[in-house]
Amino acid sequence: MPTRIDDRFAALKKEGRAALVTFVMAGDPDLATSLDILRGLPGAGADVIEVGMPFTDPMADGPAIQAAGLRALKAGATLKKTLKLVADFRAGDDATPIVLMGYYNPIYVYGVDAFLRDARDAGVDGLIVVDLPPEEDAELCVPARSAGLNFIRLATPTTDDKRLPKVLENTSGFVYYVSLTGITGAALADYAGVSQAVARIKRHTALPIAVGFGVKNAENAAELARNADGVVVGTALVQALKASLDAEGRAGPSSVGAVTGLVASIAEGVRDARPKGGVMSWLTRLVS
């Protein structure tokens, strides 16, 4: 049965444009503000929302997202409260896809079966768990798909043609192409290289490809959206929120707008992107 993620990408393909995928950390800087931000994202132009699961040792994340997770944990965020956050959001929005992104340890501690049941009941559509390789699919990926959740894999510039089939074997929803090696928040990727890499991945899968890492503004997003099924932005949003906080790390009257305003600007870039010609054109097929 198609998920909200499947339906959203299919609808955007008919529109002939890329999706804007936005990342925010659950509970940053507090649960109430986090919920207000979530509720504001679809209206600002987010097509898919990734919600970070706060964790004490986020090895793939840069300083900004690490700090966001620590702020959330300090404010009392837990995995159970993250699921409650999604459920509260879902009470007013039954259409926007929600993907939980993070690490396996909190899920393992929660219990895989209980987590998948509660995630599905809360209205979660997919998972990105960055520290579970395909060789461990039986641990979470296969059970998640059996529970009706998409399990989204990351591909990187070092994922070669020999490795790709294994990475894609149980992937569903979309493929998240990390456009550079390193941690989140690193320098912007080389656009030409990204285009070539995505074309290569497309030869292995019919899934949509969303490109992330290094997206800071509307111009970055527009460039990627010309050759992408989706553009992912996370660190820039986390940094915008951080800049709105007071000296004690507390939200202020501008905090929600700092995030939704940037999303609106980036969404405009995504929607204004013009497809390039040839086999990479949106007129022939969507690629990332």
Helices marked H in the chain:
4-15, 31-44, 63-74, 79-90, 104-110, 112-122, 141-146, 164-168, 191-202, 218-225, 235-244, 255-272
Asked if residue 253 has a cis previous peptide bond (ω within 30° of 0), the answer is no
User: Is pLDDT of 254 > 70?
Assistant: yes
- What is the domain-level CATH number for residue 72? 3.20.20.70
Q: Residue 286 falls within a domain, yes or no?
A: no
Average pLDDT score over the chain: 91
Residues 266-273, mean pLDDT to the nearest whole number = 93
Q: What percent of the chain has pLDDT over 70?
A: 91
pLDDT of amino acid 260: 98
Helix 31-44, helix 255-272: angle, nearest 10: 30
Amino acid identity for residue 49 in this structure? I
Range of the domain at 258: 4-280
The pairing of strands 230-233 and 150-151 is: unpaired
229 assigned to some structural domain? yes
User: How crowded is the C-beta side of 274, counted as CA atoms within 13 Å?
Assistant: 1
Least confident window among 46-55, 59-68, 170-179, 277-286: 277-286
Give the residue, 227 or 18, on which the prediction is more confident: 18
3-class DSSP assignment, residue 276: coil
**Residue 279 pLDDT exceeds 80:** no
pLDDT value for 275: 57
Residue 98, domain member (yes or no): yes
**pLDDT digit string (tens) for 98-150?**
999 999 999 999 999 999 999 999 999 999 999 999 999 999 999 999 999 99
Answer whether residue 5 shows pLDDT above 90: yes
- At residue 253 the predicted structure's pLDDT band, cuts being 50, 70 and 90, is very high
Nearest to 217 by CA among 175, 264, 181: 264
Domain membership of residue 169 (yes or no) is: yes
**pLDDT (0 to 100) of residue 181:** 58
Are 99 and 5 within 8 A, CB to CB? yes
Residue 238 has a pLDDT of 97
Number of domains forming the structure of the chain: 1
Residues 11-35: what's their mean pLDDT? 97
Is 287 inside a domain boundary? Answer: no
97 assigned to some structural domain:
yes
Give the three-class secondary structure for 212. Answer: strand
Q: What is the per-residue pLDDT for 278? A: 34
DSSP 92-153: T-SSS-EEEEE-HHHHHHH-HHHHHHHHHHHT--EEEETT--GGGTTTTHHHHHHTT-EEPP
pLDDT at residue 284 greater than cutoff 50: no
- pLDDT band of 214, cuts 50, 70, 90: confident
CA distance 151 to 170: 7
pLDDT above 90 (res 277): no
What is the distance between the alpha carbons of residues 128 and 144, in angstroms, rounded to a whole number? 11
Is residue 170 assigned to a domain? yes
Q: Which of 1-5, 214-218, 273-277 has the highest mean pLDDT?
A: 1-5
Residues with catalytic annotation?
Answer: 50, 61
% of the chain at pLDDT higher than 90: 80
